């Protein structure tokens, strides 16, 4: 981590932002917690491998390559906590239009046969 500080705070923040965004989008692809954890560990290893890069040019190139990969691989519908505004439960179960709820006479006869329950 001391090597990253020598590249300046902007580079450090960019790497941390890329890691955080990648982790959040990994959660969007992996619903199961065990699978997510495995992917999160692999993601962390990918960042740790390049932690001790000494050349700023190489570090910048790695960051740009990571940002490009993130742009390509990011989830199109990022997971949001279900209770949050626009979260996963937000208007996902929209009530169907009233005209689709109305039963036809034939369906009424099939489903409303309470008279034959005795």
The per-residue pLDDT for 91 is: 65
The per-residue pLDDT for 44 is: 94
Per-residue pLDDT tens digits for 80-105: 777 777 776 766 666 777 777 787 88
pLDDT category at 41 given cuts 50, 70, 90 is very high
Report which secondary-structure segment, H or E, holds 21.
Answer: helix 9-29
Q: For residues 43 and 117, which has the higher predicted lDDT (pLDDT)? A: 43
**Is a pLDDT exceeding 50 seen at residue 2?**
no
Q: For the chain, how big is the Rg over CA atoms in Å? A: 25
Most confident of 11-15, 72-76, 94-98, 111-115: 11-15
The per-residue pLDDT for 9 is: 87
CA 36 and chain centroid, separation = 10
CB within 8 A of 97, min separation 6: which ones? none
CA triplet 11, 48, 34: central angle to 5 degrees? 120
């Amino acid at each position: 981590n001391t090597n990253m500080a020598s590249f300046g705070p902007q580079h450090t923040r960019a790497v941390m932002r890329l890691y955080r965004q990648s982790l959040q989008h990994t959660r969007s692809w992996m619903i199961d917690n065990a699978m997510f954890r495995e992917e999160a560990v692999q993601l962390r290893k990918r960042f740790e491998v390049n932690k001790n890069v000494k050349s700023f040019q190489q570090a910048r190139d790695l960051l740009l390559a990571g940002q490009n990969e993130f742009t390509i691989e990011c989830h199109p519908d990022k997971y949001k906590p279900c209770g949050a505004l626009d979260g996963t439960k937000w208007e996902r179960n929209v009530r169907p239009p009233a005209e689709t709820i109305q039963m036809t006479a034939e369906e009424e006869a099939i489903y409303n046969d309470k008279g034959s329950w005795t």
